């Protein structure tokens, strides 16, 4: 069993964040020894999933549904499927925006223009194929 400090160090997540995760139900409430939380090492995988989901733009409520929204013995529920489809569309839009910004940066690295306006002439900022 690991202390909250050890889990924080191993997961690179502050102890205050781990307490928050516990309060909102993202990680289970754990037993305490001498007043200190004690976790099994398998919590690290769950924390990795939470961090990955947050980095991908999932909100706490969405992560909760992702982790707890369906029984592992039953196929994903319609609620989970709907949330996953919506989030997939959001991520695809974010990917499109990232690609556009990469194009802006790439053009900027090759550009010797005197202003950004001149550089943007060659960038499709609307994503519609027109410049």
All structural domains of the chain with their residue ranges: 1-58
* pTM, entire model: 0.64
- pLDDT digit string (tens) for 96-110? 999 988 988 887 788
Report the sign of the C-alpha dihedral through residues 35, 36, 37, 41, in that order. Answer: negative
pLDDT band at 17 (very low <50, low <70, confident <90, very high): very high
Helices (H), the chain: 4-11, 15-24, 43-55, 60-68, 78-110, 116-120
Q: How far is it, in rounded angstroms, from Cα 85 to Cα 103?
A: 27
Protein fold of 1-58: Multidrug-efflux Transporter Regulator; Chain: A; Domain 2 (1.10.1660)
**Which residue in this structure is represented by tokens 């990917």?**
95
């Amino acid at each position: 069993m690991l202390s909250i400090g050890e889990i924080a160090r191993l997961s690179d997540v502050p102890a205050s964040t781990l307490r928050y995760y516990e309060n909102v139900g993202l990680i289970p409430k754990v037993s305490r020894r001498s007043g200190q939380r004690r976790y099994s090492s398998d919590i690290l995988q769950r924390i990795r999933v939470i961090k990955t989901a947050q980095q991908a733009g999932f909100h706490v409520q969405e992560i909760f549904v992702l982790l707890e929204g369906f029984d592992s013995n039953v196929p994903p529920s319609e609620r989970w499927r709907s949330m996953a489809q919506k989030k997939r569309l959001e991520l695809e839009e974010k990917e499109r925006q990232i690609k556009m910004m990469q194009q802006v940066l790439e053009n900027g690295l090759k550009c010797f223009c005197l202003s950004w306006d001149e550089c943007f002439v060659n960038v499709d900022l609307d994503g519609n194929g027109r410049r």
